[in-house]
Amino acid sequence: MFSRFSQAIVRAPARNFADGLTTVDLGPPDVDVALAQHAAYCAALARHGCTVIALPADRAHPDSTFVEDTALILPGQGAIITRPGAESRAGEVLAMREVLSAFFPELPAITSPGTLDAGDVCEAGHTVFIGISLRTNHEGARQLAEWLSRYGVESRLVDIRHTPGILHLKSGVVALDADRLLCIEALANHEAFADMRVLRVPAGEEYAANGVRVNDVIFVADDFPGTHALLRAAGYTLEPLAMSEFAKMDGGLSCLSLRF
């Protein structure tokens, strides 16, 4: 069982995108290139069955192109508004609540002292892995787990606070199917994944672990031939996309849309 998506919410980066938060030192993003990459991403969503709901750029929130962090959606069931761990992103959830209220009559929310970025939530069928990170704390994870349990979804915690090189859980692991993950080596042996089939991204290609399944294809960052070969050998159809400018701001393919 794996969700099929018919809609995707996106928000193009604002001209001050480079003022957003980042933990990496890859240089400032070129906003014009980022806009072109974002447009290609949106075209790919549409090509693979999603109606794209494009929100206007939000200069007040330079990180707001990473819409995934603001809510978690269980397609066909419900949605919950998050409480991002970075204070500067708090305003993003207000706008997303307004958008999602047109689709979901009930919108519960993570509340203080809980914090939760949905980039720390990896959904694999009836199991959801929740990352404990610098942005998501145990209380936020507890609240989300309680909400998920109402829908019969099991939650498992994965503490990534001491895993180098990743900001969110989905920076290092993505669900390809309900029982198969693509994972960085540092997380591949985690006990939470013991009953999952794990494909390990090749050394040096860790960024490629942040892909996203969109219906019958896997969106994957381009320029990672080892990961592409691994996925194709496992039987997946790929949609390679340029992500260089978003990588400079800790962003990945899953971050750029809310799919349902």
The residues that are catalytic are 168, 255
Looking from the CA of 214 toward its CB, the CA atoms found within 13 Å total 28
Q: Which helix (DSSP H) or strand (DSSP E) does residue 54 occupy? A: strand 51-55
Q: Given 3-state DSSP classes, what are the helix, strand and coil percentages for the chain, each rounded to the nearest 5?
A: 30, 25, 45
- How many CB atoms within 10 Å of residue 6? 11
Task: For residues 143 and 63, give the distance between their C-alpha atoms in angstroms, rounded to a whole number.
Answer: 24
Rg, Å, the chain Cα set? 17
Pairing of the two strands 71-74 and 51-55: unpaired
Here the tokens at position 68 are 């995934």
Place of tokens 């970025």: 117
Place of tokens 């159809």: 237
Task: For residues 202 and 120, give the distance between their C-alpha atoms in angstroms, rounded to a whole number.
Answer: 22
